[in-house]
Structure 1
Amino acid sequence: MNAKLLEVARVFFKLGCFAFGGPAAHIAMMEDEIIEKRKWMTRDYFLDLIGATNLIPGPNSTEMTMHCGYERAGKAGLFVAGIAFIFPATVITAFLAYLYVKYGQLPEVEPFIYGIKPAVLAIIASAILKLGKKAIKSAELIILGLLVLIASLLGVNEVVGLLTAGVLGMLYFYIKSKSISDFKSVTPFIFLFGIQATATKVSAIKLFFIFLKVGAILYGSGYVLFAYLDAELVTRGLLTRSELIDAIAIGQFTPGPVLSTSTFIGYQLSGFSGALLATTGIFLPSFLFVLILNPFIPKMRNSKILRGFLDSVNVAAVAVMLAVLIVMGKETLIEWQSIVIALIAVLLTFKTKVSTIWTILIGAILGFFLLTFTK
């Protein structure tokens, strides 16, 4: 393995071990690690990757690791980055699944998660400020971002918001520039995003194909994942709803993507081989989508009409991150303990050069002590 691939593996394995707080937090940590510290690419291009990634199915933050790996070390880097990021979550989840199957309960981790949640708010806020400065290039984009923010807070699906913003922005900036010379370059882009996933028949490797289908069509949060898995597993009698709820909970409080839920369920149903097949199935579409999409992103930026689309999607993506921050803040900052942890995290994030990973660790430790000794 060459030096760049080793670097990619180290970076994303480390992030995979500490990536708590959902996609917005994961992307914020990547921004700190990839842009601030290592300067693998410009912040503008990082924004382009975020905007494009939001438009395809699958776990956005995991797909961002693949894009970053691709940019640093080519196609091999794509696979190394994705696998390195996913690996810690799947190993931890498989171990927890073993404990769950053997003893019927999960270890007590709530005090640590209590502290991590407010800590990641500061990390997300920092990334929003940095990315927002690059995304906001005109008054029109500010207005578009505000509209997407309002729509997101009102419950409009994030993908609908992003696509609508992209199309409106593309049309507006096209009319403004009155340039149609490169409109033909839209064709491959439209074809790419017009691909529809088709359901696969259940076979002897049932778990693999169930999770492959979910991974190919999944948009949205853990709640959307719950709905998909409820339809695929609970209604078929493969899993009880309470078992599914426990599996989703595992995905929420382990590091990395919430889709590590698949590892837990796979182990429950078919042991180690089931965990491996389910995990492979749900993440495989993301590798393929990114492999297809990545070469188109520079072409989109070079096209006048698609540049307007990308700029609009980018500012919309920052608006969606801000909406996530607001919602998370309302749900998290409800007690003095969480507010104290959030304030300390803000100081660490904005006033020091402490790594985001250390901020998360400090938040976890503070959460444990504050929740254990003050409640």
Structure 2
Amino acid sequence: MTTPLASLARVFGRIGVLSFGGPAAQIALMHRALVEETRWLSERQFLSALSFCMLLPGPEAMQLATYAGWRLRGIPGGLVAGTLFVLPGALVIAALALLYARFGAQPETGALLLGVKAAVIVIVVQALLRLGQKALKTADAYLLAALSFLAIFALGLPFPLIIAVAGLWGFLRSRETATDIPPPPANHTAPATLALWAALWLLPLPVLWLAGQTLLFDLAAFFARLAVVTFGGAYAVLAYMAQEVVQNRGWLDATQMVDALGLAETTPGPLILVTQFVGMLTGHAQGGAGLAILAGLLTLWMTFVPCFLWIFAGAPYVESLLARPRLQSALSAITAAVVGVILNLSLWFAFHVVFTEVAEVPLGPLTLDLPRLDAPRWDAWPLIALAAIMLGPLRRGIPLTLLVCALAGWGISHL
């Protein structure tokens, strides 16, 4: 029986509105809706789809929603499911970005944001520990994580290079025979689908170039490249984005980047929506609210259209891809390397929240970004402890924890 598009829209609209708490919570929400309540997917179909989406760059929860919609109603179903998963969070981020650009410098805003950022430190550390438990099971995995941390923290190497080297190492150390690879599906037009969606995705680049829109072109090109290397979830790529946006391009300062991550945690939808916030702040700084909205729409296009590309071109090959030992080995190596990258993000974020100044410190041939230990923010520590208690022993949800910590930050500022 064909699933009506109206039913798809209703279910995925509800999922999009309620999808707080990061990919684990979002995937659990989809499992309940798609497997337990509607029974549109079997347990095996859901888990196979999830494994496939974890092989892809980009937000796995959004891609899982797109895959489910595609499986139920083809490309129209995939477009409905994927769009509605992202749309509620994108609307909230747009409002927050415009409000932040207008009121971000107010003391009251800073106090509320301090509570949010203190909670985000705990959220990121929890994500790091969960991923580490899954990914670091061998001595080789621990070594990869350590080397990737040193590569980005001490050497400042770009995230795409670290991921590429880790993936190549995992690919080459595994063996694969012809018997390991199932035949591809018959009569599938993957090349045509890939070409069509790639053309749609990259269309803004020549248009902006010919129109002489330098800033918008630079934003589109950067976030297009970011979309291709977003393995390991948003936390992994955020370190690279901060490195590029703050240090290399100067679009935002470190405080704005930290605030962007904190506010993105407060919204439904994939955390990678932080790219929209960054794009909008960059546009607002250059041309006010109008350019901010254009930059936000462009950033959403460059970030999420590739998700449709990967799903529509690759979904019929799920069984074939999941059976390849070399691909699995490459993914395992990348995941181990991502642990080290997220550790770097955790330190970078914590340094900018619990200290008032972070400076470049020469250490032999290296230059490290380290905090000034004589300039701590004492008001951040009780907020971090509050978040740790709520998310740990009390097992409260992320939205409630963010709200309570924000209000506590405002309260501390009035003591």
Please give the TM-score of this superposition, normalised by the length of structure 2.
Answer: 0.65
Specify the alignment match of 1:216 in structure 2: 224
Q: Is the 8 A contact 2:223 2:302 kept in 1?
A: yes
Deviation at 1:369, TM superposition (A): 1.4
Specify the alignment match of 1:163 in structure 2: 164
- Structure 1 distance, partners of 2:125, 2:55, is 18
Deviation at 1:148, TM superposition (A): 1.8
Specify the alignment match of 2:245 in structure 1: 225
Q: Is the 8 A contact 1:208 1:280 kept in 2?
A: no
Specify the alignment match of 2:90 in structure 1: 86
- Structure 2 distance, partners of 1:37, 1:165, is 32
Percentage of pairs with the same residue: 16
Specify the alignment match of 2:66 in structure 1: 70
Deviation at 1:308, TM superposition (A): 0.6
Give the AA of the match of 1:161.
Answer: I
Q: How does 1:174-185 map to 2 (within 5 A)?
A: 174=175, 179=177
Q: Is the 8 A contact 2:15 2:30 kept in 1?
A: no
SS of match in other structure, 1:52: coil
SS of match in other structure, 2:91: helix
Specify the alignment match of 1:113 in structure 2: 113
Specify the alignment match of 1:56 in structure 2: none
Q: Is the 8 A contact 1:114 1:364 kept in 2?
A: yes
Give the AA of the match of 1:348.
Answer: M
Q: In angstroms, what is the RMSD of aligned CA positions?
A: 4.2
Q: Is the 8 A contact 1:263 1:278 kept in 2?
A: yes
- Structure 2 distance, partners of 1:267, 1:137, is 45
Deviation at 1:358, TM superposition (A): 1.0
Give the AA of the match of 1:224.
Answer: E
Unaligned runs of 5+ in 2: 33-42, 71-77, 184-190, 227-236, 265-272, 355-375
Q: How does 1:175-324 map to 2 (within 5 A)?
A: 179=177, 199-200=205-206, 201-203=209-211, 209=217, 211-218=219-226, 220-225=240-245, 251=260, 254-255=263-264, 256-264=273-281, 266=283, 274-294=291-311, 296=314, 298=318, 299-324=320-345
Q: Is the 8 A contact 1:31 1:127 kept in 2?
A: no
- Structure 2 distance, partners of 1:146, 1:44, is 30
- Structure 1 distance, partners of 2:286, 2:349, is 33
Specify the alignment match of 1:140 in structure 2: 140
Alignment: residue pair count: 331
Give the AA of the match of 1:165.
Answer: A
Deviation at 1:88, TM superposition (A): 0.8
SS of match in other structure, 2:210: coil
- Structure 2 distance, partners of 1:327, 1:47, is 30
SS of match in other structure, 1:173: coil
Give the AA of the match of 1:150.
Answer: L
Q: Evaluate the alpha carbon distance shift between residue 362 and residue 254 of structure 1 in structure 2; reply closer, same or farther with a 3 A threshold.
A: same
Specify the alignment match of 2:380 in structure 1: 338
Please give the TM-score of this superposition, normalised by the length of structure 1.
Answer: 0.71
Give the AA of the match of 1:345.
Answer: A
Deviation at 1:302, TM superposition (A): 2.1
* Deviations, residues 287-308 of structure 1 (Å, cap 9, x unaligned): 2221222364845432111111
- Structure 2 distance, partners of 1:313, 1:275, is 34
Specify the alignment match of 1:370 in structure 2: 412
